[in-house]
Structure 1
Amino acid sequence: MTSAPEPPASDDGHSRMRAADADRELVQQILAAALTGGHLTAAEYEQRSGRAVLAKTFGDLDTLTDDLPVTQLGVALPQPGDPYPSRVSSGSGREPIRSRLAILSGSELTGAVPVAEHLSATAILGGVEIDLREVEFTAPHLTIQCLAIMGGIDIVVPPDVAVEIGGGAIMGGFGGGKAAGPGTPGAPTVHITGFAVMGGVEVKRKERGVGGWAQRWGWS
C-alpha cells in the first residue's frame, strides 16, 4: 500500500497557515475522485481521508494531494482570482506581529503573516504600509493604533472584513472614505484608531490579487 507522500523539506510560508473546513472538504472531494478514477486504492483513500479530517494546516493537506493529478480529476477547483474568506486562526505557531515603526524610513506588513489582536503603527517623517489581505488573523477583533507625525500610514483591508474607523488629525487627514462598513458573517472586525499631525492615515478596501486558493496550492 502506498502512503501519502512526506511533506517537502522546504517551507514557502503557506504550509503553516491554518486550513478551514472548506479546505478540508475540498481535499475530501479530490480524494474521492482519485479513488473513483483508480489513482488510490480503497485502503489509501481511507487513510488519507482520515488524515484530511484531522488536518490543521495547508501543509497537512498538501501531503495528501501532492502525488495526485488534481487538475485531471474533474473536481471543481477554485480558480485564479476566486475569493477566499478572511478567517480567525487558532494559531500557526509563529509569533504574531504587534508593531510597525518607520522613522525617516519605511516599513511594511504584508503577506501570510500572523497579526496580534493589537497592532501599533507609527510613522514619523516616514511611511508605514499595512496590507491585511493575506494575513493570519489571531483574534476576531484587530485594533490598529496609528500615529502619523509628518508621515503616512496606508492600510489595505480585504473586502469581507468589517471595518471601523475612528481617529483625529491636525493639519492632516484620518479616514477611509468608503472603506468603513460591515463585513461578511464570521469575518474578523478591524478597528482603526489614532492620530495624525501634519500627516495622514488612509484606509482602502481592495480585492485580493490573482491566486486565491488556487495559488496557495499551486493550481493556478
Structure 2
Amino acid sequence: MTNELPEMRASDAERERVAEALRTAVAEGRLDMDEFGERLEAAYKARTHAELVPLVSDLPAAGAETPAPLSLHKDEAGTWPERIGGPATSKGAVAVFGGFARRGRWTVGRTFTAFTLWGGGQIDLREARFEDRETVIRCFALFGGMGVLVPPDLDVQVRGFGLMGGFGDKATGPGTPGSPRVRVTGFALWGGVGVKRKPLP
C-alpha cells in the first residue's frame, strides 16, 4: 500500500482491499484471529490512507513470499497480482428448478463446476479473485441457461458445445499481461451457456 497522500480520504473500495489482504494473511497463518479481528475492525473504521497503511505494512502482497507494498489504487499493472491467490470461497453451484448467482467480491476455485436443471445461473468474474493463475469453469446446462460475465482484460478460452442448445464462445481471447487464464468448458442440452465480456458499470 502506498502512502503518498496520508491524509487522503479512504474509499470503500480501498477499505475492502485492505480487508481482503487481512483475510488472506489470517488464512496463511500470518495473523492470529484476535489480531485479525482488531485490524479488520480498524480497517472498516479508517477514514484516511494514514489509518489504513499500518494495518498491512508488515504483510506481503497476496501470493507473495516476501513483503511487498499493497497499492490502494487499481492501475493496469497492479490489478491482477492483487487478485490472484488465496483460498477459494466457492468451487461450484447448482440450480434445480431455481437459480444461483456468484458475483461481487469472491474467490473462484481452480476448478469451478456449475450445473443447472430447469433453472438458471450467473457467474460474474468481473470483481472476483482467483485461487490460481489457471482456472477451469465447467458449465452444464440441461433445459436451462447459464451466463458467465468476464472483464475485458481477462484471458478467456471457451471450449463448450451445445446439443439442441447453444454454447457461446464470442468471449474467447487473450487478456492483459499478468491476467489469469480462464477456460470455460461443458455442454448445454436443450439450454444455453453464454460467455460475455462486459466491463463493470
Instruction: Check whether TM > 0.5.
Output: yes
Distance 2:188 2:80 in 1: 28
Q: 1:86 to 1:207 in 2, by over 3 A?
A: farther
Structure 1 residue 126 displacement after superposition: 0.3
Query: What's the secondary structure of 1:17's corresponding residue?
Result: helix
Q: Which has the higher contact order (CA 8 A, sep 6+)?
A: 1
For 2:69, the equivalent position in structure 1 comes to none
User: 1:43-192, aligned counterparts within 5 Å?
Assistant: 53-56=57-60, 85-87=79-81, 88-91=83-86, 95-177=88-170, 179-192=171-184
Identity %: 34
Distance 2:57 2:18 in 1: 17
Aligned with residue 185 of structure 2, among 185, 193, 202: 193
Contact preservation (8 Å) 2:88, 2:131: no
In structure 1, stretches of 5+ residues that fail to align are 1-11, 20-44, 59-64, 66-76, 210-220
Q: Say what the alpha-carbon RMSD is for the aligned residues.
A: 3.0
1:102-149 deviation per Cα after TM superposition (whole angstroms, max 9, x unaligned): 100010000111111000011110001000011111100110011000
For 2:197, the equivalent position in structure 1 comes to 205
**What TM-score do you get using the length of structure 2 for normalisation?**
0.64
Contact preservation (8 Å) 2:88, 2:130: no
Query: What's the secondary structure of 2:159's corresponding residue?
Result: strand
Contact preservation (8 Å) 1:18, 1:89: no
Distance 2:128 2:21 in 1: 11
Q: 1:57 to 1:16 in 2, by over 3 A?
A: farther
Distance 1:165 1:105 in 2: 25
Structure 1 residue 187 displacement after superposition: 0.8
In structure 2, stretches of 5+ residues that fail to align are 1-14, 23-49, 63-71
Query: What's the secondary structure of 2:196's corresponding residue?
Result: strand
Structure 1 residue 86 displacement after superposition: 3.6
**What TM-score do you get using the length of structure 1 for normalisation?**
0.59
Structure 1 residue 15 displacement after superposition: 4.0
